[in-house]
Amino acid sequence: MTQIIGESIPRVDAVDKVTGAAKFADDIQFGPGLLYGRLVRSPHAHARIKKIDATRALALPGVKAIATGADTPGYIGLYLQDRHIFATDRVRYIGDPVAGIVATSEEIAEQAIKLVEVEYEVLPAVTDPLDAIKSDAPLLHPDLGKYTVANFIFPKPGTNISNHFKVRKGDIAKGFAQCDAIVESEFRVPQIQHVPIEPHIAVAQAEQSGKITLWAASQSPFAQRNLIAKALGISQGDLRVIAPYIGGGFGSKAGVSMEACAVVMAQKVPGRPVKLRLTREEEFFTTFVRQGLVARTKIGATKEGKLVAMKTEYYWDAGAYTEYGVNMTRAGGYSSTGPYEIPNVHADSYCCYTNHPVGGPMRGFGMPEIHWGIEQLMDQLAEKLKMDPRAFRLKNCLKTGSDVVTGWKMHPIKLDECIEKATAAIDWGKREPASAPHKKRGKGLAIMWKAPAMPPNAGSSSYVRLNEDATITVGLGGQEIGQGTHTVMAQMVAAALGVPVEWIRIATPVDTLYSPYEWQTVASRLTWSMGNAVVAAAKHARQQILELVAEHWNEKTEDLDIKDGNVISYKSEQSLPLHDMVIYGLPKEGDCGWRGGPIVGRGNFMPTYVTGLDPETGQGPRSVVHYTVGCQAVDLEVDTETGQIEILRVAAAFDVGKAINPDQVRAQMEGGVVQGASSAIFEKLDLRNGKVVNPSFVDYRIATSVDMPHKIIPIIVEEPQDDGPWGARGIGEHAMVPTAPAIANAVYNAVGIRLPSMPLSAERVFLAMQEK
């Protein structure tokens, strides 16, 4: 048996005596004492819990314990603490966890949850955000006014509105009076699922000492540690979260969902690890879903094509608990105009409680939802003015120095260049024939913007530790979820320190006991924020090395450099390799001792310049750190006999500031296009009276290889960000934002129909064409 340093569970080097094959199953990693958990979930969208009787379940051989709401009186939540880990007095959506069974096998646990008897008093349910805001709607959170909430979130106690974000800029009445053309419409965006290939899974162990270790597929190990510790009234120092590589996240594994249940269940059996794994069916409706949205928008312009006024109401279907949804509502509010300069704006963004699955972060964080309506209305307004949609956008899009909706000046960007390059790539303005007589061809475009939606003080930290052979171990807290962030961090350290990238080693897995702090792996912020921290740590290590060698050579640090792992002098032309001296130092003359010692660099980063916004007007000096902007242009065909959409070309041009790894930037654009097209054409959680009736890949369709665009053209545009490492900013989420409206605009260009809600399925497109 070998003990891995820092692990509270011994790993066993074992070989199966029969087959001789190595065993790396659960009992190998966590020992033969591993227990398994399953959750008792509410069958009702809204009900009061009258009684829980677990007598029969606990009598089942192999059942070890049960956890209920009685064990979790505290509240948990990121921006708004509005839920218990296990439901206490009432359940608010189908799937709300009521109890957790711990048993010796998953099969026994599954059998036992069916034996737990829960008595409910069914209550009226709210299943539409427009119903939720009515004065006579059932109140889903009577204690809303007592919840702990971030100071930039504005709940309305006594209602089902957990956040109301307002924008009041200019004079909206006078603005519309100046307009020669006005368009308005209502758009709906359904809930969809992230559907990562790896489901949510967690293993927790509570020691007799009270210390707890949680292994979780998590985008947010430090946030999980903080939120779970607060909810359970324990020290963050006594809760350790270990997060290995993740099999897909897209936001679903941010914050806390089922992981807290695993911790509470482990507390019931001290000393024994407990494994909790969600089924694919549970994955569809018991974890975060992308929030639904009802958007009512009115936009006006002058006959010269200049935007003058915009009025918007967003009603977010945030589900039963809105700990994350409240910030998405805020992001929708401060980005409500889309990437356009509009002098008169009146916007209200409402986060509405409903008895639907819990809304949470998903790639784009509210931006795909709001751009769905904005970008279609911009096309309609251009058509009304008899302007080309491309020319209309070039005239009105944000540019460097433009007035942003929240009152500050736009930082340097090249959105106009994105528009020009994306449209040129699909031969915009050129009518091209369809591939068959029964098909119609059309082109469309959409532009976008997105800022990292985060608190003003979300921080990053890193360490850079040199080894004897001059390889470098980099400690960081950002998670690798397939986006390649560890590769980019290695590139940054190598460039900042002056060594080959092959020398860099990223310390994994992320472990809150040993890894430096990182807020969360969300918001497309790691290249920018964690990148700044990593570069600072590398520069700190570099400075120590240069000072050591400068003293050894009796030279000035400004005359020295590090190239390819060697310290060189531009003055004396001496050279010294890094190996050994970065640990053991350098000898003084005359055998009089040594100078230096182990080199460890440290760095951190936190934006200090984001300000609050006026709660009545949404105006302030700087609402966000920055925006990434871009454009997508789509060339497609619609089959008039079936309604099927076939995407021929998508050009995606985004201003990324600086592409640290161009291949990965292009891959992010390609992935965003595919996921955006999937959400536009196929995806929808079919909710009926609060119940998801399509919780499987049989009935919930996502795009596959046969649905891919024939050609994706990723285009990198670079206007450096002033506070980004080498000018870089994020691109992870952005390519998903404009895809759906660009497709919708292209469908209209092809066959002259508009559907105000997604998805643009073949059936719905065909029926709309028949109706037309």
Contact status, residue 631 vs residue 448, Cβ threshold 8 Å = yes
For residue 559, the surrounding DSSP H or E stretch is: none
672: left (phi over 0), alpha (psi -120 to 50) or beta: alpha
Joined tokens for residue 760: 């643009």
Joined tokens for residue 751: 């066959």
* Residue 3 burial (10 A CB sphere; 0-12, 13-18, 19+): exposed
Contact status, residue 129 vs residue 322, Cβ threshold 8 Å = no
Identity of the residue numbered 495: A
Say how far apart CA 344 and CA 385 lie, in whole Å.
Answer: 19
Helices (H) and strands (E) counted in the chain, each on its own, are: 18, 33
For residue 532, the surrounding DSSP H or E stretch is: helix 529-553
């709940």: which residue's tokens? 155
* Known active-site residue 733: yes
Strands 289-290 and 212-216, sheet pairing: unpaired
From the candidates 313, 616, 733, 763, which is the catalytic residue? 733
Strands 691-692 and 472-476, sheet pairing: unpaired
Strands 510-511 and 239-243, sheet pairing: antiparallel
Peptide bond into 273 cis (omega under 30): no
Say how far apart CA 98 and CA 114 lie, in whole Å.
Answer: 12
Say how far apart CA 497 and CA 330 lie, in whole Å.
Answer: 39
Strands 212-216 and 239-243, sheet pairing: parallel
Strand partners, 2: 11
User: How many residues in total does the chain contain?
Assistant: 772
SS (H, E, C) 564-603: CCEEEECCCCCEEECCCHHHHCEECHHHCCEECCCCEEEE
Give 676-710 as a DSSP string: HHHHHHT----EETTEES--STTTS----GGGS-S
Gyration radius from the chain CA atoms: 28
DSSP letter at 62? T
User: E strands within 108-160?
Assistant: 117-122
User: E strands within 143-230?
Assistant: 161-169, 181-189, 201-206, 212-216
Say how far apart CA 553 and CA 36 lie, in whole Å.
Answer: 62
Give 442's Cβ-side CA count (13 Å radius): 20
Identity of the residue numbered 562: I
Contact status, residue 192 vs residue 679, Cβ threshold 8 Å = yes
Which residues are part of the catalytic machinery?
Answer: 733
